[in-house]
Amino acid sequence: MSVEVKIPAVGESITSGIVSVWHKKSGDFVNAGDALFTLETDKVSTEIAAETSGVLDPIVPEGQEVKIGEVVATIDDSKKAPAAKPAEKKAPAKSEAQAAAPPKEESADAKTASPARTLSPAVRRIVDEEHLDPEKISGTGPDGRLTKADALEAASKTKSKTVGDAISVPADGKQTASPTTENRESHDGRFVRKKMSPLRRKIAAQLVMAQHTAAILTTFNECDMSAVQELRAKSQEAFTKKHSVKLGFMSFFIKASVEALKTVPVVNGRIEDEDFIQNNFYDIGVAVGTERGLVVPIVRDADKKSFADLERDIANYATKAREGKLKIEDLTGGTFTISNGGVYGSLLSTPILNPPQSGILGMHKIMPRPTAVDGKVEVRPMMYLALSYDHRAIDGKEAVSFLIKVKECIEDPKKLPLDF
C-alpha cells in the first residue's frame, strides 16, 4: 500500500515551508530514516526523513511552497528493496612471474580518481541547490573532506562564471546577454538578475507579514558602556581561564533584558487572536547572521543561567549556525529577541519584530561621543539602544520604562546578578 509523506509540524509559529531539494528521485527505493528532501522555512532548513521503507513517488516539485500537513509524496511499502548483487569472484592469485613484474604505471585519470565523498548535510544541501560536482571541489577538511566553506566558495565561483558566460562581446564591442543562463545581466551590464534562495524568500515574506500584522513602533535611548567595558577587561582573563569561554557584551544585555522584562512584564508577552498571553519564562532569541540569512536561536531560561552558561550557549549557536547544524527546536518558542547590528558597524536602526513576539531590542556600535557627566563634557563609549514593540499590546510608557531599566543595568552592572 502507499503511505503518504506529509509536511510535519516544525514549530509553533511555522505554517509553511518550501521543498528546496529532493535527495531521492522518483522510483528510488528508500529505507526508513533516509533523508527524502530539505524543507526550508523562515527560520531554518531541515531534512525530512522517510518513516517507512519502499519506493518513493514525489508529488511536489522542488521550489514549491507547502503547508504543514500537506502530502508531498507517497511511499509504496509493498515494494521490497532490490536484491543485492552477488559478490564478485575473487581474482586468482598472481603467479610468481606476475608478482615479480614491475607494476604498470597508472594513467593520469586513474591517479586522480577518488571514491565518492561522504558529505555533511550542510555541504550536501549547498551542493544540491547550486548543482555542484563535489568531486571537482578541493576539500580543506581532515582527509580532504569538503567543508561548508569549500562548498560556498565553489558556489560563488560558479555564479561568477555564470554571470561572465552570460556576456558575449561581438565584433562591434556591444555586450549581449545569453537568454539561457539562470543569472542574467542586462544588455549594458548595469544589473544582474538572479533567483532568490527559498530561505531568503521566506525571510522576506516573514518580515512583510510582521509589518502588516503588528503596530510596530520604535523608541530609542543610549547607554554609557564605560562600566561594562571596565568590568569586562578586569574579569576577562580569570573568566576565560575558569570557564574556557570569553566574556562578551551579549551576556550583559541578555541579563539586563531579563531584569527589564521582570520590571515591565508586558514586553514579555504576545497577542494571539483576541487574547494576550503573558509569558512568565525568559527564552531570549539572539539574532545571528549567516551566509544563508538571518536566524534567531533561543537561549532557554536565560534568567536561570550564569554569565558563563549564556556565553557558552551563544558560542555554540554561532558555531552551529555557521555549519548549518541548527535544528528547528533551537529556533522556536522565544519570548523576546536581541539583535546586535553593532557587529556590522550599525550606529542606529529600527529592528523588525520576530513574530509572534511583542518586543525586540537593537544593540548598536559603541562610539566615543561627548556626553554630559556631572555637569562636565566628557568623551565616553556610547551605544544607541532601540526597542521596537507591538503598540497594540505595549504602551509608550512601558516601552520607555523597559529601555531605561536596560540602560541602568548596563551603566551600573552591580544591579545585575554577577556570578563570575
Q: Which residues are catalytic?
A: 391, 395
- CA angle at 60 for the pair 55 and 61, rounded to the nearest 5°: 105
Distance in angstroms (rounded) separating the CA atoms of residues 297 and 295: 6
Q: Is the dihedral of CA 326, 332, 333, 334 positive or negative?
A: positive
Whether omega for the bond prior to residue 297 falls within 30 degrees of 0, making it cis, is no
Number of continuous H segments (helices) and E segments (strands) in the chain = 10, 23
Whole-angstrom distance, CA of residue 40 vs CA of residue 65: 9
Residue 306: Cβ-neighbour burial (10 angstroms; 0-12, 13-18, 19+): middle
Dist CA 420 CA 417 (whole Å): 9
| DSSP character string of 45-77 | EEEEEPSS-EEEEE-SPTTEEEETT-EEEEEET
Region of 300 (left: φ > 0; alpha: ψ -120 to 50; beta: rest) is beta
Cβ(263)–Cβ(401) below 8 Å: yes
| φ and ψ at residue 412, rounded to 5 degrees | -135, 80
Mapped onto helix, strand or coil, the DSSP state of residue 270 is: strand
Strands 298-299 and 176-177: unpaired
Structural element, H or E, at residue 383: strand 376-390
